[in-house]
Amino acid sequence: MSAISELSKLRRTGPVTPEEKAARRKETSHDNKAGYLFLLPWLVGLFVFTLGPILASFYLSLTDYSLIQAPNFLGLDNYERMLTDDRLHQSLKVTLIYVGVGVPLQLALALGVAVLLNKGMRGLAFYRSVFYLPSMLGGSVAIALLWRQIFGTTGLVNQVLQLLGLDATTGYVSDPDYALWTLILLNVWTFGSPMVIFLAGLRQIPTMYYEAAALDGASRISQFMRITMPLLSPIIFFNLVLQIINAFQAFTQAFVVSNGTGGPSDSTLFYTLYLYEQGFTRFDMGYASAMAWLLLAIIATFTAVNFLLAKFWVFYDD
């Protein structure tokens, strides 16, 4: 008889006398105490640093808390105020454009580079590191400052265009027509993280599918659309949800490029930047908390819609 069978038999037998039952309860209680002791740091973090602030922010969203005076209960006034706040509407417009344009372009570029790197070229590890590096630096203050210099009036872009004989004097980060698009370009440039995930997914697709398709005369494009895309769709879905959530929370780039104002003419007023302005510049913590809950609702809605639509295009090989 195997060891598993012996163990199963012992478990089925169980304690039969009251003394054995008391000993088993004592042993189980001792094991549970040890388990809870190891879980204690995580439980403290969950209740003190996560659930506590979440519940506190919801309460503050119903008040006019200003950090100096005690919160005064207002009910839903902060949420009603959002309906007539033009700058809030502008921040939502800017953020939705940033998410709607930046995320698809970033994922398309990441997938394209991943497909190229999957061809087995020499120095793959080097190229993978080079392309991944912007993902680590793209959200930093240093890169945002560099971006502002590159796209400034006397920046690198204009200098290159002038060398080509063009009369380039536009300050792309100071012109309302171009400022947001420079930030979208910065977001697209940080495609390394989804690219690495795409590359890992491409390595998991069996080559026999491509070999069989080639024997049947399928073109490279047909193989990509009928083999690569369906088998990679769970990875695409994962990256899509992750990048949408990250894009909605983008803050540093707009803060640095616009000096925290969302300018010029509120063209880079991201939702998170306006939330920060309300909370830490005007100290209107009640309204900022209500805005945080609205942002949570928006991200949750986008995520839920993505999960609902996933059944129409995500292919799970089960």
Per-residue pLDDT in tens (0 to 9) along the chain, 318 residues: 455 555 555 555 555 677 777 777 777 777 788 888 889 999 999 999 999 999 999 999 999 998 888 899 998 999 999 999 999 999 999 999 999 999 999 999 999 999 988 887 777 777 777 787 777 776 677 777 888 788 888 888 888 888 888 888 888 888 899 999 999 998 898 888 899 999 999 999 999 999 999 999 999 999 999 999 999 999 999 999 999 999 999 998 888 888 888 888 899 999 999 999 999 999 999 999 999 999 999 999 999 999 999 999 998 865
What pLDDT, on the 0 to 100 scale, is given for residue 89?
96
Domain spans in the chain, listed from the N-terminal domain onward: 17-64, 81-311
CB < 8 Å & 24+ apart, contacts of 66-75: 66/283, 66/284, 66/285, 66/286, 67/283, 67/285, 68/283, 71/286, 74/286
Q: Can you give the pTM of this predicted structure?
A: 0.84
Six token digits for residue 265: 């003419």
- Among residues 105, 110, 103, 100, the alpha carbon closest in space to that of 191 is found at 110
Distance CA 192, CA 129 (A): 8
CATH architecture of 81-311: Orthogonal Bundle (1.10)
> Any idea what DSSP says for residue 259?
T
Q: How far is residue 123's CA from residue 160's CA, in Å, rounded to a whole number? A: 30
Q: 148 with 252: CB under 8 angstroms?
A: no
Question: Distance (Å, rounded) from C-alpha 146 to C-alpha 153?
Answer: 13
CA distances, 235 to each of 89, 106, 129, 133, 231 (Å): 33, 14, 20, 21, 9
CA distance 177 to 191: 24
Q: Are 158 and 165 in contact (CB under 8 A)?
A: no
CA nearest neighbour of 187 among 252, 126, 232, 238: 252
